Structures are given as C-alpha cells and as structure tokens.
Structure 1
Amino acid sequence: MVVTTTSDARSRPVGAWGAVLSMALCVAMLIASEFMPVSLLTPMAEGLHASSGQTGQAISISGLFAVLSSMLITTAAGTVNRKSVLVAMTALMLISLILVAAAPNFAMLMMGRALLGVCIGGFWALATAVIMRLVPEADVPRALALMYGGQAIAAAFAAPIGSYLGGIFGWRAVFWALTPIVAVNLFWHLVALPSLPASQRQDFRSMFSLLKRPHFLRGLIAAMLTWGSAFTMFTYLRPFLEQVTGVGLSALSILLLILGCAGFIGTWAAGRFLTGNVAPLLKLPALLMGGCTAGLLLLGHWVVAASIFLALWGVMNTAMSVIWMTWMSQNVDDAPEAAGSLMVAAIQASILLGAVVGGLLLDGLTIVATFTGSVVLAGLALALIGSGQRLLKPARA
C-alpha cells in the first residue's frame, strides 16, 4: 500500500519519497558500518594484536548474524508494524557502533559486529518489500536506486575518509564519528516512515516454498556467487593495494575515493535505464567486476591501471544491488518479504564465506590467491546466469 491522502493512492504518494530518503541514509550507515573494517583493516589488526586475516572475520561475523537475522526477522516480528521493526534495527546499529568503538579487545569487537549483523539482516530482509509499499509499482526501480544511493555515498566517502581519519586520529575515532549520524537517522525514521502494518504473518514454510520455484532458486544461487566474488576481493582490497600496488596511506585513500565516487554513476545508471526486462543485465555485475579483479591481478602493480579497474568495479558495485533487487521485485512479487529474507540470507552468506575463504587464502597463501578465488566465483556466476531468461518467472498462460 502506498501512503496517500486519496483513494487513488497508487498514483499520488504523499511523503513516501521522504521515507525512501530516510532509508537511503540508513543504507549509507549500514554499508559504512559493515565495511569500514576494509579501510581500517591494518590498523585494527595492529591495535587488537591480531592478523589481517583474523580481523577480516569482523566482516564475516556480521555476515553470519545477518544470515540468521534475515531468516528469522519476518517470522519473529510476526504482525509487528514494519516501521517499528526498522526503527529497532537502526537502534541496534547505534549500539553496535558504540561497542565497536569502545572495544578493549577482539572479543568485544566481534560482539559489536555480531549485533550489527542482526541489524543488517533485519533491515535488508524488509527493505525491498517496504519500498514496494511506499511507491507505485512503476517507480520501484527508481526508488530502489535512490535507496541504494546511500550505498554509493558510503562507498564514495566512508572508506577513503575512514582510512584517512583513522591514520590521523585512530580507527576507534572513525566509529565514534558515525554514532551521531545514526542517531539522527533514527529520529528521521520516526518522523518520515508511515505506519506499515504487517500484511500477513510469515513463516518458514512460505520461505522454503519459494525454493521450489526453479527460476528463483537459480537466481538465488547466481546472486550468491556474484556477491561472493565481489566481497572475496573487496574485503582484502587494502592488503592488495598495499602489497601489490605498493601505495601509502594518501594514495590508498585516493584510490578508495575513486572506487566509491564511481558508485554514483552506477546508481544513476541503474535508476535511469533499468526498465522492462531485467534478464540481460543480470550477468553484468559478475562479468564486469570479475573482469576488473582479473585486470588487477595482471596490472595491479601499476597505479593508473589499478585506479581504472577500481573505478569500473565501483560503478557496478552499486548497480549490482539495484539490478538483483529489481529482479526479485519483478519475479517474486507475490511474496516480497519471504523472498527478501532468502535473498539477504544468501547474499550475507556469500559475503561471510568470501571473507572467511579470502582470509584463509591470504594468511595461508598470498593476496594473489584471494583475488584468484574471486575471479573463479565470478566465472561460475556467469555460467549459471547465461542469458538470464531461466531466472525469470514463467509467463502466465
């Protein structure tokens, strides 16, 4: 249902875009909080007396709890108003940041990151379904692109600013700096989000019944491979740039800024051109991002080449989310919350495995092995997606 003041609701939403913007800020804070350890991996490892591979598990632990939360949230929340659930998830993010910033040891860090995982899973499981209720059906891709604009903002500024400020003030100060922004976002949710009563009570049967749909199951696995490829590389990007490209702190911040700013192009393009049949676009993330990772393996020692590949990777990084969530909204539109739970669980599981396997390859072999694993996963995703037609719901007779 779209929030309106008249009976012809779906044509003239009132206040819905303010709510979408509030969710976009929440996305920015979630992405910044979840992946800030990427830009601070080395100093965090030194400060907590751990290896880079171990500290990378700060991302995998949040992924683990995000998987669990995404699977449980729609059933545990029952008929609770979805606005209340989103507000609660944002409050958990605020508490998590405080725990991480104040963590005296590695165990406390992981506890804070686990709490963040609960917030990530809960928010993303409901996000697309909420967007589908805030705006007319024709505006869903544009609203998703706007919401994922928060991802572009976080990608553009969180990593480079985080690495730069972390070098000056320490990594803890970076996490403390995020807390007032999340507090403002919490208040904005309370004001901007309309009441969103649960349309129906979800259970595990409704989720698992979706897995019996061949097109959805194939899409779910393809999405996992795509995200697994992306974050096997992205989680350990800083060690690659330091060890292979040979950059210092200033150059590292610039390269991360290039990657992040390119995300604005991806978000804009996805919102403008993503209409109609999404099938031909499904293979683009794995194709372009996997190709860029392969390019880094071949030419990553050259700073100019690295900057070009990171820019291209950044464009598709933000477009990837819009493409796949638009696919979900068009092909599982009869059960958006259940599909959202499964999609988020699958994506977070792939991020978790990417961080774990990538860390093992980094500590056991080399950073080159980590990036090679990323390319292999991209190739598997491309093989499964093909033309994309088999990932679309069957046409009704």
Structure 2
Amino acid sequence: MTAQHLSNDSVTKTSTWGAVFSMSLCVAMLIAAEFMPVSLLTPIADGLGVSAGKIGQAISVSGFFAVAASLVITTAAGRLNRKWVLVIMTALMLVSLIMVATASSLAVLMLARALLGICIGGFWALATAVIMRLVPPERTAAALAVMYTGQAFAAAFAAPVGSYLGGVIGWRGAFWVLVPIVAFNLVWQLIALPSLPAAQGQSIRALISLLRRPYFARGIAAVIFTFAGAFTMFTYLRPFLETVTGVTVTELSQLFLVLGCAGFLGTWAGGKFADGQVIRLLQVLPVVMGLATIGLLGFGQLVVVAALLLAIWGVMNTAMSIGWMAWLTQNLDDAPEAAGSLIVAAIQTAILGGAALGGTLLDHFGIGATFIGSAILSAIAFLLVGSGQRLLKTT
C-alpha cells in the first residue's frame, strides 16, 4: 500500500460525521423524489392531459434506469473521485426535479424520471463503499443506520406531505418545494465530503468474478427473494387496507404514517444488531415480515391489529436494507464498490419483479394470493440464509 493511499485512508476514516449526515439528507430526497409522485398521480395525469396508467408507467421508468445505472456506474466512473460522482448524482436529482415541476408533456416527465433513476442507481451503488471510507470499521453499522434514517423519514412523510402540498399549491408546487432542499444538499456535499479517490477502476469482468464467489452469489439470491417478498406485499398494501380492513381515507393515511414511523425504530435496530449479529438479523427479517403478512390476511379486518402488524413489518423493512449492507461491509470489504453495484441492481430488480408478481396475482386470484405469494418469497429467502455459514467469506 502506497503512502498516498495511507494518507487518503487516514483522511477519510477520520472525516467528520457531517459527510454522513449529508448522505442521509440525500437519501431522504431520493426517496421523496422517487415515491412522492405516487401520492400525486391523479393530479399529474390531469395536469398533463394523459391517463393515470400512463403516468404510472412514467413513474416506474426510474426503476429500470436505477438497475442499469447501479450495474455500470463504477465502470463508467472509472478513476473519477467518488466525491464528484456523488455530487454529480445529486445534481442530476436537482435537474430531474426541476424538469418534473416544469414538465409540459409525458415525454419530459419520463426523461426526468430516467435521470432520477440514474441518480438512484448510481448513489446507492456507491453509498455503502463511501460510508466504509468515511468512518472507522467499528462505526460502519452506526453510520449506515444514520444514512438510512433519511429513508425512514422520507418513507414516513413523503407521501402524506406530498399529497397535502399538492392540494394546497398544486403538484408542480410540491416538487418545487424539494428543489431548494436538494440544492442545499448539493452545497453541503461539496463542503462536507472529503476527497475520495477511486482505489481502482472497475470492470464488468470484476462484477462477474465477484458473482463466482459462492457465498456472495447465495447472498444475492437471498437479497432478491427478501426484497421481492417485501414489495410483492407493500406495492398492493393500499387495496388490501381499502377492501379487507375497510379503512377510511383518514385511517389509511394514519396507517401509512404508522408504517413509516416504525422505520425510525428499524434504523435503530438495524444499526444495533447489524454490527455483531448480522446473520441473526438476516434470519429474523424474512420470518417476521412473512408472519406479519400472513397475520394481516388472518386478522387484518381489525384496524388496531392491522396497525400493530404494519408497525412490526415497518421496523423489519427498514432494518432489512441496513442488515444486507452491513453484511456487504463485513464480507466484501475487498470489493465494496463492485459488490454495492450488484446488490443495488439485485434490490431494484427484486422491487420491480415483486411488484409485477404481486400485480399478476392480484388481477388473477385476488389480494389474498398476492399476500400469500409475498410470504412464500420470504420463506425462500429464509431458507437461502439458512444457518448463515454459507453467506460468510472463509478467507
């Protein structure tokens, strides 16, 4: 290891937590930008003069571009300083939000969502590797929990706040509200993030080589089934609550708020247990989420029970991301960027696949089949994790 590399490592390991908090804010804005349109789908469709279905398709474009970006970002970025890659991703988010707020057609909206997808995939592919360089190893799990607090915050408040702002200042105004926050975050990153020189250039061959590690390939499979199980259910939670639980619009908002706020407890639990008990955490997550999903099918007619089960599910859902990223830091520390690219691509693919499977089951067999399908996927994830020994590197 060269003296320069040692110097760079020293700078990044002792850098302030301000950089971590700036990444947490970036996460919050990414989640808000990604999911706020869901709560504004109808007014966006009316404003652009197209069907709600087409707007829904335009919104989903970000997911496809996130998958692509997560796979190619480390290769495309080459030896570019990772600080500037993250800054560019935040700048793309800013451009995307402005384009959405000023969109005059469906085509412009889709282009804006594509840019957002690139930002999502690029940021998440690098985020864990950057966190590993910002803090000492013993603080990595805590730093990941801080970063994912931004996700919990946005998940709790993005949809209800977006819906409220849309009613008060219009859907375009709701997106304009995010613009100065992202601009502030861009400046904060410029100031707080230290220089993060790329350790080495990545290649597609390096990604393929990583997948040849049996423990990593098994982990990726478990990631796919874990997240697919979660989003097979979550994507269609609203129709379940409306048709089975029979909630009012007000109760629906309250239940989603309970689900989102539970994520704050999930960030604490993830940070606490991912450090020394990551395998146990990865075992517990799909089991509890699957049981909560089945519990909703059996007792979801009762609003209080549904709220309790959603709170439990929400804790696990947030801890899920922290747990798998902590597993990455502990077992792929020799190739965190390549591993980050693959795991983010796996997560995004699982989200898209889970939503597609859940929709197919819903259309052909009903909401019960959708929830059962989710539980089955979670059970497969648990079997893939197993004792955990086959998820650990041996050298």
**Does structure 1 residue 285 correspond to structure 2 residue 257?**
no
Deviations 1:285-311 (A, max 9, x none): 211222222222222232212211111
Deviations 1:317-351 (A, max 9, x none): 11111110000011111000000000111111111
- Determine if contact 1:161/1:253 at 8 Å carries over to the other structure: no
Distance 1:212 1:182 in 2: 39
Quickly say closer, same or farther: Cα 1:338–1:9, change in 2 above 3 A.
closer
- Determine if contact 1:56/1:235 at 8 Å carries over to the other structure: no
Distance 2:377 2:159 in 1: 24
Deviations 1:245-299 (A, max 9, x none): 3333322221111111111111112223332242121122211222222222222
Alignment of 1:315-354 (within 5 A): 315-354=315-354
| Partner in structure 2 of residue 305 of structure 1 | 305
Which region of structure 1 is more displaced relative to structure 2, 103-112 or 20-29? 103-112
- Determine if contact 2:14/2:135 at 8 Å carries over to the other structure: no
Alignment of 1:143-222 (within 5 A): 143-222=143-222
Alignment of 1:335-374 (within 5 A): 335-374=335-374
| Partner in structure 1 of residue 253 of structure 2 | 253
**Does structure 1 residue 392 correspond to structure 2 residue 377?**
no
- Determine if contact 1:166/1:174 at 8 Å carries over to the other structure: yes
**Which amino acid counterpart does residue 229 of structure 1 have in structure 2?**
G
Aligned-residue offset at 1:14? 4.4
Distance 1:242 1:167 in 2: 22
Quickly say closer, same or farther: Cα 1:289–1:305, change in 2 above 3 A.
same
Aligned-partner SS, 2:17? helix
Distance 2:110 2:11 in 1: 46
Aligned-residue offset at 1:41? 5.0
Distance 1:391 1:203 in 2: 24
- Determine if contact 2:58/2:106 at 8 Å carries over to the other structure: no
Distance 1:374 1:360 in 2: 12
**Does structure 1 residue 115 correspond to structure 2 residue 119?**
no
**Which amino acid counterpart does residue 315 of structure 2 have in structure 1?**
V
**Which amino acid counterpart does residue 124 of structure 1 have in structure 2?**
W
**Count of aligned pairs between the two proteins:** 390
**Which amino acid counterpart does residue 205 of structure 2 have in structure 1?**
R
Alignment of 1:37-56 (within 5 A): 37-41=37-41, 49-50=50-51, 56=56
Aligned-residue offset at 1:59? 5.2
Distance 2:88 2:12 in 1: 29
Aligned-residue offset at 1:313? 1.2
| Partner in structure 1 of residue 73 of structure 2 | 73
Alignment of 1:223-262 (within 5 A): 223-262=223-262
Aligned-partner SS, 1:295? helix
- Determine if contact 2:220/2:343 at 8 Å carries over to the other structure: yes
Which region of structure 1 is more displaced relative to structure 2, 166-175 or 74-83? 166-175
- Determine if contact 2:131/2:143 at 8 Å carries over to the other structure: yes
**Which amino acid counterpart does residue 207 of structure 1 have in structure 2?**
L
Quickly say closer, same or farther: Cα 1:37–1:357, change in 2 above 3 A.
farther
- Determine if contact 1:163/1:249 at 8 Å carries over to the other structure: no
Q: Percent identity?
A: 64
Aligned-residue offset at 1:177? 2.1
Aligned-residue offset at 1:366? 3.5
Distance 2:271 2:345 in 1: 25
Distance 1:51 1:372 in 2: 28
Distance 1:362 1:101 in 2: 33
- Determine if contact 1:27/1:150 at 8 Å carries over to the other structure: yes
Aligned-residue offset at 1:243? 3.1
Which region of structure 1 is more displaced relative to structure 2, 71-80 or 235-244? 235-244
Aligned-residue offset at 1:170? 4.3
Quickly say closer, same or farther: Cα 1:33–1:203, change in 2 above 3 A.
same
Which region of structure 1 is more displaced relative to structure 2, 359-368 or 182-191? 359-368
Aligned-residue offset at 1:364? 4.9
**Which amino acid counterpart does residue 261 of structure 2 have in structure 1?**
C
Distance 1:147 1:274 in 2: 14
**Which amino acid counterpart does residue 333 of structure 1 have in structure 2?**
D
Query: Any gaps of 5 or more consecutive residues in structure 2?
Result: none
Deviations 1:173-194 (A, max 9, x none): 3333222211111111111001
- Determine if contact 1:82/1:196 at 8 Å carries over to the other structure: yes
Distance 2:195 2:246 in 1: 52
**Which amino acid counterpart does residue 109 of structure 1 have in structure 2?**
L
Deviations 1:17-37 (A, max 9, x none): 100000010111111222224
Provide the alpha-carbon RMSD of the alignment: 2.5
Distance 2:302 2:58 in 1: 30
**Which amino acid counterpart does residue 118 of structure 1 have in structure 2?**
I
- Determine if contact 2:27/2:150 at 8 Å carries over to the other structure: yes
Quickly say closer, same or farther: Cα 1:176–1:235, change in 2 above 3 A.
farther
**Which amino acid counterpart does residue 158 of structure 2 have in structure 1?**
A
Aligned-partner SS, 1:16? coil
- Determine if contact 2:13/2:135 at 8 Å carries over to the other structure: yes
